Chains A and B, each alone.
Chain A
Amino acid sequence: MLKGTLDMMILRTLVTGDAHGHTIAKVIEHTSEDVLEVEQGSLYPALHRLEDRGWLSSYWGLSENNRKAKFYRLTETGRKQLIHETNRWRQMARAIGLVMGEYVMGEKTLAGENDL
Chain B
Amino acid sequence: MSWKRFFRRSQADAELVQEMESYLAEEMDENLARGMSREEARRRAYVKLGNPQQVREGLWQQNTLSAADSLLRDLKYAVRTLARSPGFTVIAVLVMALGIGANVALFTVVRSVLLKPLPFEDPDRLMMISEAGASDSPNHPVAGGIYAEWKKQNRSFADLAIVGSAEMNLSGLGKPGAGSQLPEQIQGANWSWNTLHVLGIQPALGRDFTAEDDTSPANGTVLLSWGLWKRRFGGDPAILNQTIYLNTRAYTVIGILPAWFSYPDTSTQLWTPIYHDNPEAAMLVLDNHQFQVIGRLRPGFTAEQGRSELSVLTRRVHNQHMDDPFVSLGANIRPLLEDIVGDIRKPLYVLLAATSCVLLIACLNVANLLVARAASRSKELAIRTALGGGRLRLLRERLVESFVLTAAGGACGLLLAYGAVAWLVSTRQDMARIEAVHIDGVVALFTAGLIALCAVFAGLISSTSIKDQQLLGSLQESARGSSTGQGRASLRRTLLALQVGLTVVLLVTAGLLLKSYQRIRSADVGCITQNVLTMRLSLFGARYQDPAQQVNFYIRLLDRVRALSGVTAAGFADAVPGQGYWGDTGFKVVEHPPLPIGRGLFAIDRSVDPGYFAAIGIPLLRGHGLDPSKRLNLANEVVISKLFADRYLPNEDPLNKHLITLDGHLFTIVGIVGDTRYSIATEPVPMQYFSLYAGLSNRGSLVIRSNRDVAMLATPIQRIVQELDRDMPVSDVLTMEQLLGDSTHDQSFSATLLLAFAALSLVLAGVGLFGVLSYLVAQRTSEIGIRIALGAQRTQVLRLMLLDGLKPAIFGLLLGLIASAGTVRLIRSMLYETQPLDPAVFLIVTVALLFVAGLACVLPAWRASRLDPMQALRAE
Partners in one complex: yes
A45 touching B59 in the complex, CB below 8 Å, given contacts A40-B48, A52-B5, A70-B15? yes
Q: How far is the CA of A41 from the CA of B58 in the complex (A)?
A: 9
A49 touching B51 in the complex, CB below 8 Å, given contacts A22-B22, A70-B15? no
Which listed residue (B1, B5, B16, B26) contacts A44, Cβ 8 A?
B16
Which listed residue (A20, A41, A48, A67) contacts B50, Cβ 8 A?
A41
A65 touching B62 in the complex, CB below 8 Å, given contacts A40-B55, A70-B19? no
A20–B2 touching, CB < 8 Å = no
B62–A45 touching, CB < 8 Å = yes
Q: Please, which residues of chain A bring their CB within 8 A of the CB of B19?
A: 20-21, 44, 69-70
A40–B23 touching, CB < 8 Å = yes
Q: Please, which residues of chain A bring their CB within 8 A of the CB of B54?
A: 41
Q: Please, which residues of chain B bring their CB within 8 A of the CB of A40?
A: 23, 48-50, 55
Determine how close the nearest CB of chain A comes to the CB of B7; give it in whole angstroms.
14
Determine how close the nearest CB of chain B comes to the CB of A28; give it in whole angstroms.
13
B10-47 interface mask toward A, CB cutoff 8 Å, 1 = contact, 0 = none? Answer: 00100110111011011101000000000000000000
Q: Please, which residues of chain B bring their CB within 8 A of the CB of A48?
A: 12, 16, 59, 62
How many pairs of A and B residues are in contact by the CB < 8 Å rule? 57
Q: Please, which residues of chain B bring their CB within 8 A of the CB of A22?
A: 22-23, 26-27
Q: Which residues A57-110 have CB closer than 8 A to chain B?
A: 63, 65, 67-70
A45–B5 touching, CB < 8 Å = no
Q: How far is the CA of A48 from the CA of B63 in the complex (A)?
A: 10
Q: Which residues B99-144 have CB closer than 8 A to chain A?
A: none
Q: Please, which residues of chain A bring their CB within 8 A of the CB of B58?
A: 41, 45
B23–A45 touching, CB < 8 Å = no
A65 touching B55 in the complex, CB below 8 Å, given contacts A40-B50, A41-B50? no
Q: How far is the CA of A116 from the CA of B20 in the complex (A)?
A: 45
Minimum CB distance partner of B25 in chain A: A67
Minimum CB distance partner of B49 in chain A: A40
Determine how close the nearest CB of chain A comes to the CB of B375; give it in whole angstroms.
46
Which listed residue (B2, B16, B51) contacts A41, Cβ 8 A?
B51
Q: Please, which residues of chain A bring their CB within 8 A of the CB of B51?
A: 41
Task: Tell yes or no: A33 within 8 A of B by CB.
Answer: no
Q: Please, which residues of chain A bring their CB within 8 A of the CB of B12?
A: 48
A44–B20 touching, CB < 8 Å = yes
Minimum CB distance partner of B61 in chain A: A45
B23–A21 touching, CB < 8 Å = yes
B22–A68 touching, CB < 8 Å = yes
Which listed residue (A44, A63, A65, A67) contacts B59, Cβ 8 A?
A44
Determine how close the nearest CB of chain A comes to the CB of B714; give it in whole angstroms.
81
For this complex, into which size category does the number of interface residues on chain B fall? 20 to 34
Q: Please, which residues of chain A bring their CB within 8 A of the CB of B59?
A: 44-45, 48
Which listed residue (B1, B22, B55) contacts A20, Cβ 8 A?
B22
Q: Which residues B48-98 have CB closer than 8 A to chain A?
A: 48-51, 54-55, 58-59, 62
Minimum CB distance partner of A39 in chain B: B50
Q: How far is the CA of A22 from the CA of B59 in the complex (A)?
A: 18
Q: How far is the CA of A28 from the CA of B99 in the complex (A)?
A: 67
Q: Please, which residues of chain B bring their CB within 8 A of the CB of A69?
A: 19, 22-23, 26
Q: How far is the CA of A48 from the CA of B58 in the complex (A)?
A: 11
B22–A52 touching, CB < 8 Å = no
Minimum CB distance partner of B15 in chain A: A70
Q: How far is the CA of A70 from the CA of B49 in the complex (A)?
A: 16
B5–A67 touching, CB < 8 Å = no
Q: How far is the CA of A74 from the CA of B385 in the complex (A)?
A: 50
A52 touching B2 in the complex, CB below 8 Å, given contacts A39-B50, A41-B50? yes
A18-38 interface mask toward B, CB cutoff 8 Å, 1 = contact, 0 = none? Answer: 001110000000000000000
Minimum CB distance partner of A48 in chain B: B59
Minimum CB distance partner of B56 in chain A: A44
Minimum CB distance partner of B20 in chain A: A44
Q: How far is the CA of A45 from the CA of B59 in the complex (A)?
A: 6
Determine how close the nearest CB of chain A comes to the CB of B433; give it in whole angstroms.
56
Determine how close the nearest CB of chain B comes to the CB of A87; give it in whole angstroms.
27
Q: How far is the CA of A21 from the CA of B45 in the complex (A)?
A: 14
Q: How far is the CA of A30 from the CA of B229 in the complex (A)?
A: 90
Determine how close the nearest CB of chain A comes to the CB of B694; give it in whole angstroms.
96
Q: How far is the CA of A20 from the CA of B29 in the complex (A)?
A: 15
Q: How far is the CA of A45 from the CA of B54 in the complex (A)?
A: 11
Q: Please, which residues of chain B bring their CB within 8 A of the CB of A65?
A: 25-26, 29
A70 touching B2 in the complex, CB below 8 Å, given contacts A40-B50, A40-B55? no
Q: Please, which residues of chain B bring their CB within 8 A of the CB of A52?
A: 1-2, 5
Q: Please, which residues of chain A bring their CB within 8 A of the CB of B5?
A: 52
Determine how close the nearest CB of chain A comes to the CB of B57; give it in whole angstroms.
10
Q: How far is the CA of A63 from the CA of B24 in the complex (A)?
A: 13
Q: Please, which residues of chain B bring their CB within 8 A of the CB of A45?
A: 55, 58-59, 62
Q: How far is the CA of A20 from the CA of B23 in the complex (A)?
A: 8
Which listed residue (A39, A41, A70) contacts B22, Cβ 8 A?
A70
Determine how close the nearest CB of chain B comes to the CB of A46; give it in whole angstroms.
10
Q: How far is the CA of A45 from the CA of B62 in the complex (A)?
A: 8
Determine how close the nearest CB of chain B comes to the CB of A18; give it in whole angstroms.
14
Q: Please, which residues of chain B bring their CB within 8 A of the CB of A70?
A: 15, 18-19, 22
A68–B55 touching, CB < 8 Å = no
Q: How far is the CA of A52 from the CA of B5 in the complex (A)?
A: 9
Q: How far is the CA of A67 from the CA of B347 in the complex (A)?
A: 78
Q: How far is the CA of A88 from the CA of B218 in the complex (A)?
A: 93
Minimum CB distance partner of B19 in chain A: A70
Q: How far is the CA of A49 from the CA of B1 in the complex (A)?
A: 8
Determine how close the nearest CB of chain B comes to the CB of A80; give it in whole angstroms.
20
Minimum CB distance partner of B22 in chain A: A69
Minimum CB distance partner of B48 in chain A: A40
Determine how close the nearest CB of chain A comes to the CB of B736; give it in whole angstroms.
81
Q: How far is the CA of A40 from the CA of B54 in the complex (A)?
A: 11
Q: How far is the CA of A41 from the CA of B55 in the complex (A)?
A: 6
Determine how close the nearest CB of chain A comes to the CB of B290; give it in whole angstroms.
79
Q: Please, which residues of chain A bring their CB within 8 A of the CB of B49?
A: 40-41
Q: Which residues B469-515 have CB closer than 8 A to chain A?
A: none
Q: How far is the CA of A69 from the CA of B20 in the complex (A)?
A: 9
Q: How far is the CA of A63 from the CA of B48 in the complex (A)?
A: 19
Determine how close the nearest CB of chain B comes to the CB of A50; give it in whole angstroms.
12
Minimum CB distance partner of A52 in chain B: B2
Q: Please, which residues of chain B bring their CB within 8 A of the CB of A41?
A: 49-51, 54-55, 58
A67–B55 touching, CB < 8 Å = no
Q: Please, which residues of chain A bring their CB within 8 A of the CB of B25?
A: 65, 67
Determine how close the nearest CB of chain B comes to the CB of A71; give it in whole angstroms.
10
Determine how close the nearest CB of chain B comes to the CB of A9; give it in whole angstroms.
17
A44 touching B55 in the complex, CB below 8 Å, given contacts A52-B2, A52-B5, A70-B15? yes
Which listed residue (B1, B2, B26, B48) contacts A67, Cβ 8 A?
B26
Q: How far is the CA of A45 from the CA of B12 in the complex (A)?
A: 12
Q: Please, which residues of chain A bring their CB within 8 A of the CB of B27?
A: 22
Q: How far is the CA of A21 from the CA of B1 in the complex (A)?
A: 20
Q: How far is the CA of A40 from the CA of B47 in the complex (A)?
A: 9
B18–A68 touching, CB < 8 Å = yes
Q: Please, which residues of chain B bring their CB within 8 A of the CB of A49?
A: 62
Determine how close the nearest CB of chain A comes to the CB of B401; give it in whole angstroms.
34
Q: Please, which residues of chain A bring their CB within 8 A of the CB of B18?
A: 68, 70
Q: How far is the CA of A21 from the CA of B29 in the complex (A)?
A: 15
Minimum CB distance partner of B58 in chain A: A45
Determine how close the nearest CB of chain B comes to the CB of A17; give it in whole angstroms.
17
Q: Please, which residues of chain B bring their CB within 8 A of the CB of A21?
A: 19, 22-23
Q: How far is the CA of A104 from the CA of B58 in the complex (A)?
A: 39
Determine how close the nearest CB of chain A comes to the CB of B137; give it in whole angstroms.
77
Q: How far is the CA of A69 from the CA of B23 in the complex (A)?
A: 8
A21-B19, A41-B51 given. 15 additional CB < 8 A pairs?
A: A20-B19, A21-B23, A39-B50, A40-B48, A41-B50, A41-B55, A44-B20, A52-B2, A52-B5, A65-B25, A69-B19, A69-B22, A69-B26, A70-B15, A70-B18
Provide 19 A-B residue pairs closer than 8 Å at the C-beta atoms, listed in order of the A residue: A21-B19, A22-B22, A40-B48, A40-B50, A40-B55, A41-B49, A41-B51, A41-B54, A44-B19, A44-B20, A49-B62, A52-B2, A52-B5, A63-B26, A65-B25, A67-B22, A67-B25, A70-B15, A70-B22
Q: A-B pairs with the 6 shortest C-beta distances?
A: A41-B50, A22-B26, A40-B49, A69-B22, A70-B19, A22-B23
